[in-house]
Amino acid sequence: MRIHPGRKLACRSSRHRQRGNAPLAAHGTQAMIATRDPLRGIIFNGTQEVPTLSERIRGRWQGTGSWTHWSVMKRAGYWEHGVSPRFLLRVDDFPRWDMGPEGLHAFHVILKNAGVRYLLGVIPHPAENPQDVSGKRERVWSTEEAAVLAEVAPDVEIALHGWTHRRRPGSVPAEIIGCTSEELEHNLQEGLAVLHKAGFTTHAYIPPFNAVDRQALAILARKFDLVCGGPESVRWLGYLPGPCSLEGVWFLPSYPPAYGRAAEVADFVRAVRLSTTPILIPLTLHWSWEAADKFEGVRRLADALAGVAVSFSGWVQGRAWAP
């Protein structure tokens, strides 16, 4: 999809169905101003001004949003070795409530050996059963979980993945949807404190169950540079291209076939990696899902990502295509 500076982008989402075929509420059409920064993504709610011809020729225009001429980046050497997609890999759910930490170690070694640096979603105070809406029991990390996390941390980037990952009452799985601003602020502060005590810092947030709305994004923007999303985010935000800037924070949604099991994601990466379109594609895995085939799918994905995976911090710094 090509988006030009100053052009209105109408974000629509049709009716979608959840499990049990119960229809979701249809989203209305929302017109937003969209501009593109080719090093990072699409910026929503930017300025309505259109760059003048002289500004286009000079190659750079800055407004409330930002736009950078492709030729400037090419002359700067960002794409001198060829233009191709780049992939950002996100991995959810550590620690697990139903699996020991040794699985993450096996998963991690494969990606580390392939030189793939990924974003790991860490739950600071995991619920014993995240699907039990009436549950009250939570726990701290075990000694083994803390040791594995400390071992993999130098080779990954850490994201805060909720507080307990327990769903709230209601038909839709979510942890932060429905929270008051005060409750969400408190849980974020507590979660960051747990990470800080363990020696980790983070600038990223992964909403449990991919459940996030614009009210939550505005609060998350105060503490994080980027927030991830997934198929479930469509219920509240519609189908948004990503990366994009929304409510003052970078939003990185990931949708199938870039979201799922590693073997399927690997097929997708192989199909698009030879494209000549310089786009950033967020990918999402759950490490615990990969144990079923003894991480064979992860090996295939690691091979497919060789040379085209970039770290989230590198992307934030505008180095996705840097030599």
What the chain holds in terms of domains, given with CATH numbers, is 7-75 (no CATH), 86-316 (3.20.110.20)
Most trustworthy range by pLDDT among 35-39, 58-62, 203-207: 203-207
Q: Residues 140-144: what's their mean pLDDT?
A: 96
What is the distance between the alpha carbons of residues 168 and 204, in angstroms, rounded to a whole number?
A: 22
Task: Look up residue 17 and give its two tokens.
Answer: 């169905």
β-bridge mates for residue 226, sequence order: 204, 250
Higher pLDDT among residues 73 and 143, named by residue = 143
The predicted pLDDT at position 40 comes to 53
Q: What is the pTM of this model?
A: 0.77
Confidence of residue 76 (pLDDT cuts 50, 70, 90): very low
At residue 279 the predicted structure's pLDDT band, cuts being 50, 70 and 90, is confident
- Give the CA angle between residues 223, 227, 232 to the nearest 5°: 140
pLDDT tens track for 238-253: 988 888 889 999 999 9
- 136: phi then psi, degrees, rounded to nearest 5: -125, -10
DSSP structure class, residue 81: T
Residue 27 or residue 91, greater confidence? 91
Percent of the chain with pLDDT over 70: 73
User: What pLDDT score was predicted for residue 82?
Assistant: 55
With 0-12 / 13-18 / 19 or more C-beta atoms within 10 angstroms meaning exposed / middle / buried, residue 103 is middle
Mean pLDDT of the chain: 79
pLDDT of the residue at 317: 85
- What pLDDT is attached to residue 323? 65
pLDDT in tens, 212-245: 999 999 999 999 999 999 999 999 999 888 888 8
For residues 5-26, average pLDDT: 33
Q: 279 — alpha (psi -120 to 50), left (phi > 0) or beta?
A: beta
